[in-house]
Amino acid sequence: MASSVIGDRALPGLSNGEIARYSRHLLLAEIGVEGQKRLKAAKVLLVGTGGLGAPLALYLAAAGVGTIGIADFDFVEESNLQRQVIHSTKDIGRPKVESAKDRIKGINPTVNVVTYNTMLTS
């Protein structure tokens, strides 16, 4: 097996609900049970929920990534909606991190979402 950023730490188990949710992944030789457990153990930080971060967050949640961090300091504007698919009309005026968190949890309630309503600087 290829090396992993997760390393040798123990992988979490999959609940019956997760086995049902990810059944298509589990059938793929490239993912299987161990790969799904690695996805569940993974942590990803998205800097921004714009045109690229928005769909990426949705796909990561749907795939079963265990922890998704979102950093964004902005608020949802109507002009965002045509390209930032994680937000909707009802979210206009809300912090983007809160809108994104709600949508991610709607897709996959088992994902741990950590929000950073700030601009990250070095």
- Average of per-residue pLDDT across 42-55: 93
Helix (H) or strand (E) holding 47: strand 43-47
- Please give the pLDDT value at position 118: 80
Contact 72, 98 (CB under 8 A): no
Three-class DSSP category at 20: helix
- Please give the pLDDT value at position 108: 97
Helix (H) or strand (E) holding 97: helix 96-107
- Please give the pLDDT value at position 10: 85
Amino acid letter, 3: S
- Cα 38 from Cα 24, distance rounded (Å): 16
Give 45's pLDDT tier (boundaries 50, 70, 90): very high
Domain count within the chain: 1
CATH number at residue 56: 3.50.50.80
- Please give the pLDDT value at position 37: 96
* Domain around 48: 40-116
- The answer to whether residue 91 scores a pLDDT higher than 90 is yes
- Please give the pLDDT value at position 100: 97
- The answer to whether residue 97 scores a pLDDT higher than 90 is yes
Q: Which tokens sit at 97?
A: 């991190």
Among 6-10, 51-55, 87-91, 98-102, which is the least confidently predicted range?
6-10
- Please give the pLDDT value at position 52: 92
Q: Which tokens sit at 5?
A: 């950023």
- Average of per-residue pLDDT across 78-97: 96
Residue 112 covered by a domain? yes
Sign, CA dihedral 26-37-111-115, equals negative
Residue 5 covered by a domain? no
Residue 6 covered by a domain? no
> DSSP assignment of 54-85, as one string?
HHHHHHHHHHT-SEEEEE---B--GGGTTT-T
- Please give the pLDDT value at position 94: 96
- Average of per-residue pLDDT across 87-112: 97
Q: Which tokens sit at 75?
A: 């608020």
